[in-house]
Structure 1
Amino acid sequence: MPRKRAAGFDSQRELIIKQAAALFACNGFTATTMNEVAQACSLSKASLYHYVSDKNELLVYICEGHIERLCALVDEVAQQTLEPEARLRLLVQRFVEEYADAQNEHRVLTQDVKFLQAKDQKRILSGERKVVDAMAQAMVGVRPELEASRMAKPLTMLLFGMINWMFMWLKPDGGLTHEKMAGVVSDLLFGGMGAVNVDIPGLRKPAVKKKKAVPAG
């Protein structure tokens, strides 16, 4: 008979995956050891192997889990009855919000997917294509001529370029939140620089008080 899982097995493994993602994102996949993962989870190395077979399996869980959440996001938006512009704006908003909570997983996906075995890479890249295609089709919904001109995918990749690397510079404790940035990205996408709302609360520089002139003599 197969060994029965202990209560809390799945939640413990999720914690391990989360801690591994943080370590891989900070130190890189190859430089991180299973000993370090075990220590981060307050587990012995033997206990760690009860939940995952090796470091490669951890990488698969991180990348696949992230892509599955993005695909679910795409499916969720697809089920809503929306006008083309509203659909594209909602996709942008949902992606930015998802990345806010998955910065480590996203960094691992972008920098360490090359270390996966070919069969795992193929499956994860297939999920990435689904995500890109959904965004490209949302763009075509707004501008149908993009499909014939074959510009839908290049514009989609430019859009993802704005979204994907936001974690590199956006400070979590700054005046700009991911929620606010989602609106900025959409405004920039639809209207160029002239459409971006620059009057964001908390960001305006305080007015410089002019010194009163001292009367001569």
Structure 2
Amino acid sequence: MARGRAPQYDEQRALILSQAARLFAQQGFMATSMNQVAEACGLSKAALYHYFRDKYALVAHIAETHVRQLLEVVMQAQAECTEPPALLGLLIQRFVREYASAQDAHRVLTEDVRFLAEEDRLRILGVEREVVSRFAQAMRALRPELGGRELDKPLAMLLFGMINWLFTWFKPGRGLDYEQLAPMVSDLFLHGMLDMGLPQPAALAPARRRAPRSTDTTRTPT
């Protein structure tokens, strides 16, 4: 008969992932050892291996869990709200708030996923693309002409450029926290997108005309 997990197994596993994400975010994946993770968790190295076989397994689990949580945030917002302006605003605010509690995991996703094997990296990239696609869909619902001009995904990426790197510069507690910042980011992007003019299609460059050959018969032949 298989022995069941101890009641604290999931709690201990969550602690390990949290501490590993913190170390990876602070030091980088390559500079962090399993010994450091074990010490941060108050575990022996042997006990740590009971939960994760190596630090590769840790970084893969952190990155994939985080990006799947972001997809879950999107799907839940879409289930709750269908009105285009309200939905896009809700998505932006929830993402900013999600990043507030997952800064370490987000840094692992953005900086350390490159160390993963191709199969794992592509699987995680597929989830990221689904997140971007759903944001682009919300933008098309608000401004349908974006889809025909293939501007929806570039705008989605511009939005992620605004919020993906908040952890590098935003320090809450200095007169502004994430709860206050979230609606500001939402209003800034939403109103900017609604008022934004669309670029004109690039005109075809005129064909370059070749200079005519010289017909000067006075040149001395060579």
TM range (shorter): 0.7 to 0.9
2:53 aligned counterpart, secondary structure: coil
1:103 corresponds to 2:123? no
Measure how far apart 1:190 and its partner are.
2.7
State the partner residue of 1:82: 82
Measure how far apart 1:2 and its partner are.
4.2
The aligned runs of 1:1-217 (5 Å cut-off) are 1-192=1-192
1:110 aligned counterpart, secondary structure: helix
Measure how far apart 1:113 and its partner are.
0.3
1:147-205 residue CA offsets vs partner (Å, 9 max, x unmatched): 00000011110101111111111112221211222212122213349x9xxxxxxxxxx
Contact (CA 8 Å) 1:19, 1:37: kept in 2 or not?
A: yes
State the partner residue of 1:212: none
Query: Cα RMSD over matched residues?
Result: 1.5
* 1:92 maps to amino acid: I
**TM-score, scaled to structure 1:** 0.86
Contact (CA 8 Å) 1:170, 1:176: kept in 2 or not?
A: no
- Report the CA distance shift for 1:116/1:3 in structure 2 as closer, same or farther (over 3 A): farther
Query: d(CA) in 2 for partners of 1:184 and 1:147?
Result: 26
Could you list the structure 1 runs, at least 4 aligned residues long, displaced by more than 6 angstroms after superposition. Answer: none
Paired residues in the alignment total: 194
Query: d(CA) in 2 for partners of 1:6 and 1:186?
Result: 43
Query: d(CA) in 2 for partners of 1:53 and 1:130?
Result: 29
**TM-score, scaled to structure 2:** 0.84
**Structure 1 alignment gaps of length 5 or more:** 196-217
Query: d(CA) in 1 for partners of 2:73 and 2:27?
Result: 29
Query: d(CA) in 2 for partners of 1:8 and 1:82?
Result: 40
Query: d(CA) in 2 for partners of 1:76 and 1:53?
Result: 33
Give 1 or 2 for the bigger CA radius of gyration: 2
**Structure 2 alignment gaps of length 5 or more:** 196-222
Contact (CA 8 Å) 1:146, 1:152: kept in 2 or not?
A: yes
Contact (CA 8 Å) 1:22, 1:104: kept in 2 or not?
A: yes
1:184 aligned counterpart, secondary structure: helix
2:112 aligned counterpart, secondary structure: helix
Measure how far apart 1:35 and its partner are.
0.3
Contact (CA 8 Å) 1:77, 1:87: kept in 2 or not?
A: yes
